[in-house]
Amino acid sequence: MPASRRTVLAAAGAALASLDATAIPVDDTVRELIKLSEESNATLLRGDIDRYQELISLTDDFTIMAPFGGKPTRRIDLTAERMQAMGRFFKNGTLEQEVIAAYGSPDMVVLALIERAQVEVGGLPSQPWALRVTLVYRREGKEWRLAHRHADPLVAGITLEQSAALARG
């Protein structure tokens, strides 16, 4: 084995050995955050922003890249009024969450998901909404907080030409 690979493996082993043995195993944490993500987002799609905020804690540096594009939103922009408006934006939704991949470490979990919803959005009639979603959770002390959400509606895929047209604006 090359020295560089041996060095990496030794460093990884040392890092794992230094982990707090009383901490919740990473796999259990990932499973809990998958369940929490589905429950909280289903709650949001029903328009229950108060329950959503009870379930999800955002980091101070939280960012969201909404499925409609545009400038990313930061935690500081999410005033109480804006959060209430977000709760009114969604109505009567249901959600099925498909986990594409989940990555965990002692301090960070990344979930790659497909969210399939049937929901009224922004006053539009109920319709299917499928989103590709990436969630990043970060442990702060003993609490897991949502640090980033990115979603886009490209589950079905688009052509290169359509993608180029979007990129041009």
pLDDT (tens digit, 9 = 90+) per residue, 35-74? 999 999 999 999 999 999 999 999 999 999 999 999 999 9
Tell me how far apart the alpha carbons of residues 59 and 22 are, in angstroms, rounded to a whole number: 24
- Bigger pLDDT: 22 or 93? 93
- What pTM, to 2 d.p., does this model score? 0.83
Which candidate, 120, 65, 131, 51, places its Cα nearest to that of 89? Answer: 120
pLDDT at 129 > cutoff 70: yes
How does pLDDT run across 86-125, given as a tens digit for each residue?
999 999 999 999 999 999 999 999 999 999 999 999 999 9
| pLDDT value for 18 | 41
Classify domain 24-168 by CATH number. 3.10.450.50
Tell me how far apart the alpha carbons of residues 77 and 84 are, in angstroms, rounded to a whole number: 13
Mean predicted lDDT score pLDDT of the chain: 89
Token pair for 87 = 């709760």
pLDDT at 131 > cutoff 80: yes
| pLDDT value for 27 | 92
Domain ranges of the chain: 24-168
pLDDT at 14 > cutoff 90: no
| pLDDT value for 8 | 40
Average pLDDT estimate for 140-148: 97
User: What totals of helices (H) and strands (E) does the chain contain, helices first?
Assistant: 5, 6
| pLDDT value for 26 | 79
Which candidate, 66, 29, 50, 49, places its Cα nearest to that of 145? Answer: 29
| pLDDT value for 139 | 97
